[in-house]
Structure 1
């Protein structure tokens, strides 16, 4: 409006002052809105060649991304990066599992042959699976012959009886190419609680099992306004992390055979001769495979990787939920993340200054000893994005995303996507049970005091 001086600073002026800022150091001023909320498009680029409907990527941590997370992220229009804290064959198996499904959930299926006894799955009720599939060979690679439900299993008195004696033969099934709405209509029309999906072209092999609860879950997914992340092969897109060692070349071969869509070079310092050589190897050996380099926090680092041929950049260098590069190596930039008390990690619970086993500690005191104060890196994202944009290389803001405000700030400052680790850990789709450090501290403290 004429005659009124604008408040605040433009980003260019703010980030030229020679200071490094965290996300919590900056905030955006409100302005005039002349568009409806439903006109906002979240579609973005992950790499030069890969597009996503939402700017969200799950981190390659072994407590965050395996099959279920990768599948769920892709179904919502994002992407999951499978961790490499496993053997090459196991990592490839996770990728195959995620890409083999057409629905945003994993059915953990149990298979038996007709000659097996129910004792083969003695923990059936406890396993969370409510259906046993009976096939000719007892695997998913043969024709479906029947099913055993948990109610049938619970009614059995003779657990040594053969499966063929009590299975429901020739069960109702649906074609494996049905989409979620077709499956929902099929379940409703036949009043079924579940239906196996079979591929008749492969001799009736079981591809999946969909339950009425699964259908309700799919319908409850938020509408992102975009499409699921699907590759040129028509399957869900899945990424994977690899290192920069010679052995990672063999790992990469396994991943490519499994159908991986993009690889992330997982390193706390991306601007190294090892990563440069690995980028060259990937691009020369698999020219159609996109590679994301990093991690970097400066324009100089970014330029080196861009010139080498990366298709995307991962920005952030400690501290994150599991990364301590700044504390250990004194290297990084403007993150100030995870400042914490001396006793913030469980093994140090008894090193609290003034701690005494002679008095009781309140819950609040115990919690405060293990609390992380989270801040993030705004300067690194802004600086790297400014140079990456000139070459058309998208940036992933990586590290410590813990609320939606952090996501918005990262995107406005130039990132195309954000990588989430602790933000997703502990969710139903995460591969491990959530282990709360604070509760470990409390239990350890109680045991210590009890022994005293």
Structure 2
């Protein structure tokens, strides 16, 4: 047997404080790389789990300057819809606004408004020429839902619109001058080329740190698997405008996962790909050779994951991130530390160990933006949070896909995760604010104005269990 190495967790180490030039933690920049082509203003990614990230969470993370990864445990059609909700949520110009024909009924307009979460439609003819615009107010009190929308729209003759090359400032002035909320963009042939809304302009100024693509739309990622429909799913997601694909595999160094990464890269040469999960430098190198743009590191560190206990396999997360980052740095490929951040300071440790960003699950679960409703228990509010390999999560997927039709056959499931309830936390932006404040504080102690400086300046000290106990509040009765 080879020499047994020592593996360390975040609890086993502390960062040594340095003489610091950072006058105030607000001076610190948390800008980082998700992949070699995608930058973020904060190093936070919401995990691709069914109790963490769908469109609401992805929108919130992108607004804050991070990114959300839509989980894959749904139909292709629904996952595509979730991505579209994020991409359509904001952008200076909506290049494909929702339209209706003049003969469409009020009933259809209302149905489409609810389905697509919009409040207006541009009315066009069969040649895509603009005839008018219909807003929610136009039909708000109409009882006859069979009437055609052309009777209620603002006709083209009275329509305020702009040219296709309009600037943000001119669009804002038009919207303000005429007290309108929608500004269609029309070419010389009267064809619809886009739509600017008052909300999109408001968000442009409100969310200055947002993670956006070149069209001003929020960025979003989506997870795919390594078997079955993963190539079809990847194509549909790419067509819907997804910015990055995450290969969602428990053991990313498995031959099936490696083959899947190669197939996705071969078929879709331009899409950003995050490979994982892995925990060794050799696995990182193999994924980099296949053309991934970032690597997700973490085998079993998550609070809901029991892989290390059930399978006996894993690498303590601090050691995994540190060793994997050393090889990834040579190729300028970012490392994403996934899991194991039990305290805010663990995020600082993960980044200092070489990660460019952290994927977070438990921190964001239980918020308003996480999927699922609030449940009440003994007068307290909670939300469900479960691991992707927990029994109920696996059972739900097998039953939904008709892989298992007899409940008795679920006895063969060997879970590597657990289900839990966690206290309701309110809006995720408040959680992000606290985590970001902790990170900035940690960076200031390390004389790091940027995450790159944190990588260079970090000095770790291994501590004992007594040292960890001393790090926590002790000898008192906490009241909060």
> Normalising to structure 2: TM-score of the pair?
0.63
Q: Secondary structure at the match of 1:381?
A: helix
SS at match of 1:410: helix
1: CA distance, partners of 2:189 / 2:83: 21
CA distance in 2: counterparts of 1:110 and 1:257, whole angstroms? 17
* Alpha-carbon distance in structure 2 between the residues aligned to 1:78 and 1:203: 38
Which of 153, 174, 189 is equivalent to 2:139? 153
Q: Does 1:411 align with 2:351?
A: yes
Q: Deviations over 1:8-44 (max 9, x none)?
A: xxxxxxxx9925223x554434432214556533332
1:435 is matched with: 373
Alignment of 1:373-388 (within 5 A): 377-388=317-328
Give the structure 2 partner of residue 365 of structure 1.
none
Q: Identify the residue that residue 114 of structure 1 maps to in structure 2.
A: 102
Choose the corresponding residue for 1:132, options 77, 96, 120.
120
Q: Does 1:272 align with 2:258?
A: no
Distance 2:347 2:165 in 1: 36
Shift of 1:314: 0.3
| Structure 1 residues not aligned, in runs of 5+ | 1-15, 335-376, 445-452
Which residue does the alignment assign to 2:178?
190
Change (3 A) 1:127 1:21: same
Question: Deviations 1:312-371 (Å, cap 9, x if unpaired)?
Answer: 21012235366443344333233xxxxxxxxxxxxxxxxxxxxxxxxxxxxxxxxxxxxx
Pick from 164, 182, 187 the counterpart of residue 150 of structure 2: 164
Q: How many residues align?
A: 376
**Counterpart check, 1:60 vs 2:48:** yes
User: Any conservation in 1 of the 2:83–2:240 contact (CA below 8 Å)?
Assistant: yes
Shift of 1:386: 2.6
CA contact (8 A) 2:375 2:381 kept: no
1:333 maps onto 2:315 in alignment: yes
Q: TM-score, normalised by structure 1?
A: 0.66
* CA offsets 1:280-312 (integer angstroms, 9 cap, x no match): 323334444443221122334434434544332
Structure 1 residues 70 and 173, CA gap change in structure 2 (3 angstroms): farther
Matched residue, 1:86: 74
CA contact (8 A) 1:109 1:129 kept: no
Query: CA shift at 1:275, angstroms?
Result: 1.6
Q: Which runs of 5+ in 2 are unaligned?
A: 383-480
Separation in 2, partners of 1:51, 1:151:
40
2:8 maps to which of 11, 16, 20: 20
In structure 2, what is the equivalent of residue 420 of structure 1? 360
Aligned-partner Cα distance in 2 for 1:21–1:35: 28
Structure 1 SS opposite 2:131:
strand
Q: Which moved more, 1:240-249 or 1:65-74?
A: 65-74
RMSD over aligned Cα atoms: 4.4
Question: Residue 298 in 1 paired to residue 280 in 2?
Answer: yes
Q: Is the 8 A contact 2:92 2:201 kept in 1?
A: no
- Alpha-carbon distance change, 136 to 304 in structure 1, aligned in 2, over 3 angstroms: closer
What is the rounded CA distance, in whole Å, between the counterparts of 1:304 and 1:243 in structure 2? 18
The whole-number CA distance in structure 2 between the counterparts of 1:199 and 1:165 is 22
Q: Which of 302, 319, 322 is the equivalent residue of 1:320?
A: 302
Larger relative contact order (Cα-Cα within 8 Å, sequence gap ≥ 6): 2
